[in-house]
A = this chain, B = another copy of it.
């Protein structure tokens, strides 16, 4: 395997992160966007919190109410209109309405060595509007034209959408609205224009029918997207049979753009794969990993909040050194390192 786990993994755990309020506890610090900023590695962690106080027989669901205030809905476990089978959410069987049992925000962490991180004490981006009322998740950071664009999953009772924010200094933040309506996440934006257009990969989750594939879109301004087409499909069998989706924003190499993506099988066993596209043709995969480049093996990946998950939202390249930050078991942040050239060379021609 080209990418080697760092000996200090996991490098960030939930207990390393201070909750945003004293009555909340952090249950996950994972799926982080990553970029180089000045001489530091910057991560935007997904921090998942839940109300600390446990009330026997009651499930508590944090969310923004219509006035934008953080509120906790309490649902008694004996209310048989609801399905409590998955601890991550509560489902109203009749209406299909869903509530999450935790709420996520984005948290800044910074490091000079890429391994030891100083984690901010408060949120960098917190839910603040209707389409984020269940939280904001899974940031990807793209450095483009002097700006850092941060796309993130905006979750609400309207579904799973993708929002965009923008910063130059990681202090002031400008929200740019919802760029993909539900259900769509795992958006990764290329750090350069191609053929005069901005380009991204995105991953619709179609209702009715249709699989969970990686699509491409173009834009003139990063806010309005079109020219949608399929780039990489989930497969009928094997490690990519449940879904594929963008992971780290594509990395420029001599050989082409390197994309590290995630895949899950029908049992929600998540792995990572990689593919290469020509410099001017992001729609055409020329080399790809036939087998996963990275699979859950370490205990912090196979066990935990949601075991058997490795999921990257960002990697940083310095010369030939690739540092891939990834969420392990939907609980903590881990790091794997390797040679960019070796990883690219390991891919097979399509």
**In the docked arrangement, what's the CA distance between A218 and B130, Å?**
19
Assembly CA distance A215 to B230 (angstroms): 24
Tell which of A184, A208, A213, A224 has the most Cβ of chain B within 10 Å.
A224
Q: Interface code A50-87, partner B: CB below 8 Å = 1, 0 otherwise?
A: 00000000000000000000000000000000000000
Q: Does A159 contact B (CB under 8 A)?
A: yes
A318 at the interface (CB under 8 A from B): no
Looking at the assembled complex, report how far the CB atom of A13 sits from the nearest CB atom of chain B, in whole angstroms. 28
- CB of A226 within 8 A of CB of B179, answer yes
Complex copy number for this chain: 2
Interchain CB contact under 8 A, B228 and A226: no
- A204 touching B181 in the complex, CB below 8 Å, given contacts A157-B210, A160-B210, A210-B159: yes
**B183 touching A208 by the CB < 8 A rule?**
yes
* CB-CB under 8 A for A210 and B177, given A220-B220, A224-B220: no
In the complex the two chains form, is A180's CB within 8 Å of B228's CB? yes
A-B contact pairs, 23 of them (CB 8 A): A91-B209, A95-B236, A131-B230, A157-B209, A159-B209, A159-B210, A159-B211, A160-B208, A160-B210, A161-B228, A177-B226, A177-B228, A178-B226, A179-B226, A181-B184, A183-B207, A204-B207, A205-B206, A217-B224, A219-B226, A220-B220, A221-B224, A224-B225
Contacts of A180 in B (CB 8 A): 228
A159 contacts which of B98, B208, B224 (Cβ < 8 Å)? Answer: B208
The answer to whether A182 has its CB under 8 Å from any CB of chain B is: yes
Residue of B nearest to A219 (CB): B224
Given A95-B236, A210-B183, residue A178 in contact with residue B223 (CB < 8 A)? no
- Measured CB to CB, the nearest residue on chain B to A96 is B209
* A209–B179 touching, CB < 8 Å: no
Query: Which of chain B's residues has its CB closest to A236's CB?
Result: B95
Nearest Cβ distance between residue A223 and chain B, in whole angstroms? 4
Residue A158 is within 8 A (CB to CB) of chain B in the complex: yes
* Alpha-carbon distance between A161 and B208 when the two chains are bound, in angstroms: 11
Assembled-state Cα–Cα distance A131/B131 (Å): 29
The answer, yes or no, to whether A112 is at the interface (CB within 8 Å) is: no
Are B206 and A159 in contact (CB-based, < 8 A)? yes
- Complex contacts, A96 vs chain B, CB 8 Å: 209, 211
Given contacts A98-B209, A211-B158, contact A204 B183 (CB under 8 A): yes
Contacting residue for A226 out of B204, B205, B225, CB 8 A: B225
In the complex, A112→B71 CA distance in Å?
A: 60
Q: Tell me if A202 is interfacial: C-beta within 8 Å of chain B.
A: yes
Residues of B within 8 A of A204 (CB): 159, 181-183, 207
